[in-house]
Amino acid sequence: MIGMHSSFFVYFAHSQDYTMAENNFVDYVKIFCRSGNGGAGSTHLRREKFVPKGGPDGGDGGRGGHVFVRGNAQMWTLLHLRYKRHVYAGHGGSGSGHGSFGADGEDITIEVPLGTVARDAETGEFLFEITKDGETQYLAKGGRGGLGNTHFKSATNQTPRYAQPGEEGEEGWKILELKILADVGLVGFPSAGKSTLLSVVSAAKPKIADYPFTTLVPNLGIVSYRDQQSFVMADIPGIIEGAHEGKGLGLRFLRHIERNSMLLFMVPADSKDHRKEYNILLNELEKYNPELLDKDRYLVISKADFLDEELQREISAELSDIPHSFISSVANQGILQLKDKIWQILNPS
């Protein structure tokens, strides 16, 4: 997992701030696509002086244009497709006399960020996902061009007046959905300190404030780790009890932790009941997608600068059956140890 998407993240490493304005983050689009029809084969018969019965010389029709999707490591939203409702590739040209082939229809390529999944909008069927820069898949295949009449000449018929029509293209509504590829996803109530942690371990500069739902769209950061190694952390909007019923920002952003290798749960030190808060988070995740609970997870108690040693020991004892540690992003406590822990989980030996 680590390094696999390196090209994707190098870009972010160079940009100082990968925090997007809310309305610039688009992670779901529905597009009507139509590939081109193949061109018709030609039924042309050769006509030459002194050759009373010229043979067939009709060329093949061109193929219809394809609609492709291609991964682009320099993109990280589907914003550019927001107003793209329809995509039509070109039709293939018809064949003609003297064996001339019709021209192929124009292909269309839709560029998408890595982590984009394509689905059929009518059936919901999974079509493919794009994970590599330059990876190209068909969203709709162009129809084949029809064969010209030269292909149908036979012993009994030297002058076939038949040629194939072109094959029709495909059309339909498709869904493109972005699921951020990150190694670690942060999961916590609003104001747990998720964005603050991201800001101290990476170059990302997410908005931080003491009111709930400060983060409205996911933020990504590259966390460098010892000898030039790194992993990617995704900070998503806070989750609250009832998120699965649409409370708060709902579960819309949970798709962005579906493909993270591990989940880092965050419960602040000043929570009234750490275990309960953790269980609420687990429960909301489960309601969204039970497979999320199969991922590796680790709990941090954030804002540990609020705690003296005794309180910390008490909380630790209460949570003894849940792997956890304490951090303070503000006082820079436990951060290195947390990075070690994350690294161990991501790279089990």
Ligand X SMILES: Nc1nc2c(ncn2[C@@H]2O[C@H](COP(=O)(O)OP(=O)(O)OP(=O)(O)O)[C@@H](O)[C@H]2O)c(=O)[nH]1
We find the least distance from the C-beta atom of residue 169 to ligand X, in angstroms, to be 45
d(C-alpha 30, C-alpha 54), whole Å: 52
- 234 forms bridges with which residues in the sheet? 185, 220
Is 128 among the annotated ligand-binding positions? Answer: no
Stretch that binds ligand X, among 58-66, 80-88, 157-165, 193-201 (CB under 6 A): 193-201
Pattern 295-314, ligand X, x by CB under 6 A: -------xx-x---------
Is 195 among the annotated ligand-binding positions? Answer: yes
Q: Output the DSSP codes for 135-186.
A: -EEEEEPPPPPPPPGGGG--SS-SS----PPPPP--EEEEEEEE----SEEE
Q: How far is CA 95 from CA 43, 57, 143, 164, in A?
A: 9, 10, 14, 10
Stretch that binds ligand X, among 5-13, 164-172, 187-195, 276-284 (CB under 6 A): 187-195
Contact between 257 and ligand X (CB under 6 A)? Answer: no
What's the one-letter identity of residue 178?
Answer: L
Contact between 65 and ligand X (CB under 6 A)? Answer: no
Q: Which of 68, 329, 338, 345 binds ligand X (CB under 6 A)?
A: 329
With beta carbons less than 8 A apart as the criterion, state whether 136 and 69 touch: yes
Contact between 72 and ligand X (CB under 6 A)? Answer: no
We find the least distance from the C-beta atom of residue 219 to ligand X, in angstroms, to be 9
Is 15 among the annotated ligand-binding positions? Answer: no
Q: Output the DSSP codes for 284-302.
A: HHHHH-GGGGGSEEEEEEE
With beta carbons less than 8 A apart as the criterion, state whether 188 and 237 touch: no
User: Judged by CB, which is closer to ligand X: 186, or 262?
Assistant: 186
Q: Output the DSSP codes for 181-210.
A: --SEEEEESTTSSHHHHHHHHBS------S
Is 329 among the annotated ligand-binding positions? Answer: yes
Contact between 293 and ligand X (CB under 6 A)? Answer: no
Give the interface with Mg ion as residue ranges (CB under 5 A): 195, 214-215
Of Mg ion, ligand X, none, which one sits near residue 209, judging by CB under 5 to 8 A according to partner kind? ligand X
Of ligand X, Mg ion, none, which one sits near residue 302, judging by CB under 5 to 8 A according to partner kind? ligand X
Residue 264: strand, helix, or coil: strand
Is 326 among the annotated ligand-binding positions? Answer: no
Query: For binding to ligand X (CB under 6 A), which residues are involved?
Result: 188, 190-196, 208-210, 212-215, 237-238, 302-303, 305, 328-330
